[in-house]
Structure 1
Amino acid sequence: MPSTSDRRVGSAVTMTGAVPATASDPVAAGRAWTAAWTTSPQRPGTGFAPNWSEQGFADQTVRQVVRLSIGGDTIRVRLSNAYGTEPLVIAGATVALSAGGAAVHADTLRHLTANGSKTFTIAAGAEQATDAVPFEAAGLDSVAVTLYLAAPTGPATHHEQALATSYRSARDHRADTGGAAFTETSQSWYYLSGIDVTGGPALPPGIVVFGDSLTDGTGSSPDGNNRFSDALAERLAAAGRPRAVLNQGIGGNRVTVDSAWFGDRATARFARDVLGQPAVGTVIILLGINDIGMSEVAEASPFPTFAPYTDVSAEEVIAGYRDMIRQAHAAGLRAVGATVMPAKPSAFSTLRSESKRTAINTWIRTSGAYDAVVDLDRALRSPSAPDTLDPAFDSGDHLHLNDAGYRAMADAIDLADLA
């Protein structure tokens, strides 16, 4: 495992490491990068809704809007070709403050380079950070990253469930300030894996929220920035204690099972998606419902998305928690465990899965393995039916939350536990 200082520098990183800072990198001048926004890369695939990942791009421009959790005066963008089978050529890229939709503020538009070049190549299986560029942004500002992909890319590394609109145009429109050319839309992110800042106020180390669809934000309003991580970042800012809050959720993700649809198992991706983020100090782990629920759904209705149909025990989930806690502690991170919320009467809830959930939550509450516990089960369950979600927080599928539910998740955290 790289040391903390190793993980916080580098102009180009692979899935597991980093290279020394270049002369243009602020780190070389003693200014450390801090991740301000992240998402977890996934394999190309159909996903929950149609997306552009399987066909990839050719002579097209993609503009993607994300919201930073903290600000600074210098920025870099991290792009991932983690699941590409060929080198990815970025013919050009820009960053700007969003003006809503696909439009950007003209006076903020900056061209991005890597190793001084506007055109650069990312090897298959690798991640590339752009060079530093002066860019004034405040916490909770939305920024647009625009990529021009001239040559055919092949299938694209993406994040399936963005809950944010991405925009596509034919040909090169990376420097457009208006949105007229961007006539196609998607609800996924492509190649974009992180945005780092420096030059802002001194803040405590960042927080990674690591999980599945309940972290990803399923059920929240698209383009509303109402995920658990968004609500937590807003709560910290309102309390005068701003910190980076980084969302590393993947819908359908499991602690113990690799899935072509729902990402590498959490224990395997932990090193990349948590420990690989610059300047983080705490991880909140919210996982387990898919391990115990998907085998129930597979038996009742064998959708191909749930393959492999693996029956996972409570003990196997707990062993996965122990592994992630060990990884976090070895890297100097604080590990906060979240209890698994109820799912009745969804297909994920059976007598067998409820027995597993009870055993898992008992362990989280009583084992002492985590540095702190946030009891989301008790905070969000119905007062009259504790094996169901509170109806005020239920998105309608009895498994995922609405906007109020994600805010209640953030409100359930004792901010002192994130120290």
Structure 2
Amino acid sequence: MTAKKIVLALPLAAALMAVTATAPASAAPHGPWHSAWGASPQAPATTPWYPNWSEAGFTGESVRQVVRVGAEGSELRVRLTNAYGRAPLRLSGATVARAAGGAAVQPDSVRTLRFHGAQSVTVPAGGQFSSDPVALPVKAFEQLTVTFYFEGPTGPATFHNVAMSLSYKAAGDHRRDPAADAFAAAQPSFSWYYLAGVDVRNTRPGGPGRAVVTFGDSLTDGFGATPGADRRYPDELAKRLAASGRSRPVLNAGIGGNGVLNDSACFGESALDRFRRDALGRPDVGTVILLEGTNDIVLPDSPTPDHCTVPGPRVTADEIIAGYRQLIREAHARGVRVIGATIPPFHGSAYWTERGEDVRTAVNAWIRTSGAYDGVVDFDRVLAAPAAPEHPKEIKIKDEYAFADRLHMNDAGYKAMADAVDLGSL
């Protein structure tokens, strides 16, 4: 990674935003739209995290997906993405409903999604599209289910790999089917497909407040948390804000395996390439918490290199810091605050090396002391167990916070991360 890469990353991000075709949304007299849920799109890929349906796509199938919204509203709209589609995406129809557990939905809550009044829509390759407003009042932290039906072949699907939430599919059109029976034949997936976001309208003065975007890798995505339980650190942070009376949407823009500097065939475009779209591309974003850099350090030392990690050049602390500086400049140019998060320890994982620990230590020292960020959350100090005096570099995650791989957190670890955030800094 060189300074040239850091400079040239900007046009790609701008180009991705330029091809986005979004249905127009009126603001008055119903009030503006607010982000309530979102996921960062990825190109179709077979990844080591979970098996998924992205490369096969869908033909004559319904896909039912569960999300938890972070803001209340009297109306909602659903955003579709075909960001990595090789051809226009034909959606034959879709519904939204309140979840009832698993693939079931509450029958009286099922609403048809329309697009400029039509039940079907074609989303251009590289684009996205928003549904018309739907009169389905929602509460913060309520689970919604979105069901897509694809009559014809979709081709490889734009998706989000590490959803930590189950999605379901069934042969035929089951958009309005409240029962889960039809979806029981296929093994569920831990990914989301073609689903970019859910927005709400809130007529209360001030609405739900400006969104906090948590931007990063699998530590933000929540790998290691209990699947389906919404216990990632952004989920826990949203709960803290609500309990304090300062409720704001907390949007998860993590991608498992993602890095600051380098693109990956499996883990998405680098932070430099996707930051404008996934963090700053939301009109109501007020603050970004930036937690990224672990994969830049560890993936070049992967004990089992594969198509997801190769090529993966080793990078220096200075190169990672240069990437951070660019992201901070972009955010500040948009009037968005950036909170820098230190990188947690990973000794005991299959990826640890002394070289990698030296890079992590140098990067964290800069995050704490440079003054480049608008605030700092020190995840490293909260999560780290004291090292033995004879091995000062061998710093591990505390046992009570560590997932089995010693690289990610468990539920308690992600809650400790959320608890470490100074709410006033947001």
Task: Give the TM-score of the pair, scaled to structure 2.
Answer: 0.91
Unmatched tracts of structure 1, length 5 or more: 1-12
For 2:361 and 2:168, the matched residues in 1 are separated by 43
* Aligned mate of 1:393, from 390, 397, 401: 401
The yes-or-no answer on 1:315 pairing with 2:301 is no
The yes-or-no answer on 1:236 pairing with 2:241 is yes
| CA positional deviation for 1:370 | 0.3
* Aligned mate of 1:405, from 413, 417, 423: 413
1:163 maps to a residue whose letter is M
| CA positional deviation for 1:278 | 3.0
CA RMSD of aligned residues (A): 1.6
User: What are the within-5 Å matches in structure 2 for residues 20-99 of structure 1?
Assistant: 22=24, 25-29=25-29, 31-47=31-47, 48-99=49-100
Q: Secondary structure at the match of 1:27?
A: coil
The yes-or-no answer on 1:263 pairing with 2:268 is yes
2:31 maps to a residue whose letter is R
* Aligned mate of 1:277, from 273, 278, 282: 282
**Residues matched between the structures, number:** 402
Tell which deviates more after alignment, 340-349 or 143-152: 340-349
The yes-or-no answer on 1:296 pairing with 2:297 is no
For 1:30 and 1:139, the matched residues in 2 are separated by 19
For 2:23 and 2:150, the matched residues in 1 are separated by 26
The yes-or-no answer on 1:370 pairing with 2:378 is no
Q: Structure 1 residues 356 and 14, CA, compared in 2 at 3 Å: closer, same or farther?
A: closer
| CA positional deviation for 1:18 | 6.8
Q: Structure 1 residues 278 and 106, CA, compared in 2 at 3 Å: closer, same or farther?
A: farther
| CA positional deviation for 1:28 | 4.3
CA offset digits 1:287-316 (Å, max 9, x no partner): 00110111122xx43233212221111111
Identity of aligned residues (%): 50
Contact 2:71 2:208 in 1 (8 A): no
Q: Structure 1 residues 151 and 143, CA, compared in 2 at 3 Å: closer, same or farther?
A: same
For 2:288 and 2:143, the matched residues in 1 are separated by 24
Q: Secondary structure at the match of 2:145?
A: strand
For 1:14 and 1:312, the matched residues in 2 are separated by 26
| CA positional deviation for 1:203 | 2.7
* Aligned mate of 2:363, from 360, 365, 370: 360
Contact 2:159 2:193 in 1 (8 A): yes
1:414 maps to a residue whose letter is D
Contact 1:105 1:177 in 2 (8 A): yes
Tell which deviates more after alignment, 360-369 or 270-279: 270-279
Contact 1:15 1:125 in 2 (8 A): no
Match of 1:109 in 2: 110
For 2:18 and 2:72, the matched residues in 1 are separated by 26
Tell which deviates more after alignment, 193-202 or 257-266: 193-202
Contact 1:33 1:278 in 2 (8 A): no
Contact 2:72 2:137 in 1 (8 A): yes
Q: Secondary structure at the match of 2:27?
A: helix
| CA positional deviation for 1:71 | 1.2
Contact 1:293 1:347 in 2 (8 A): no
Match of 1:10 in 2: none
Contact 1:92 1:174 in 2 (8 A): yes
Match of 1:326 in 2: 329
Q: Secondary structure at the match of 1:304?
A: coil
Contact 2:37 2:199 in 1 (8 A): yes
For 1:293 and 1:21, the matched residues in 2 are separated by 41
For 2:75 and 2:261, the matched residues in 1 are separated by 38
The yes-or-no answer on 1:414 pairing with 2:415 is no
CA offset digits 1:132-174 (Å, max 9, x no partner): 1111100000000000011100000000111111010101000
1:214 maps to a residue whose letter is L
Match of 1:8 in 2: none
For 2:106 and 2:70, the matched residues in 1 are separated by 19
Match of 1:182 in 2: 183
Contact 1:21 1:28 in 2 (8 A): no
For 1:340 and 1:204, the matched residues in 2 are separated by 28
For 1:113 and 1:174, the matched residues in 2 are separated by 13
Match of 2:156 in 1: 155
* Aligned mate of 1:15, from 14, 17, 34: 17
Contact 1:26 1:132 in 2 (8 A): no
Q: Structure 1 residues 176 and 303, CA, compared in 2 at 3 Å: closer, same or farther?
A: same
Task: Give the TM-score of the pair, scaled to structure 1.
Answer: 0.93
Say which structure is richer in strand: 1
1:245 maps to a residue whose letter is V
1:136 maps to a residue whose letter is P
| CA positional deviation for 1:17 | 7.1
CA offset digits 1:39-81 (Å, max 9, x no partner): 1100111122211111100010000000011110110001110
Q: Secondary structure at the match of 2:100?
A: strand
Q: Secondary structure at the match of 1:134?
A: coil
For 2:358 and 2:183, the matched residues in 1 are separated by 50
Match of 2:259 in 1: 254
The yes-or-no answer on 1:338 pairing with 2:346 is no
Contact 1:15 1:82 in 2 (8 A): no
Match of 2:385 in 1: 382
Q: Secondary structure at the match of 1:197?
A: strand
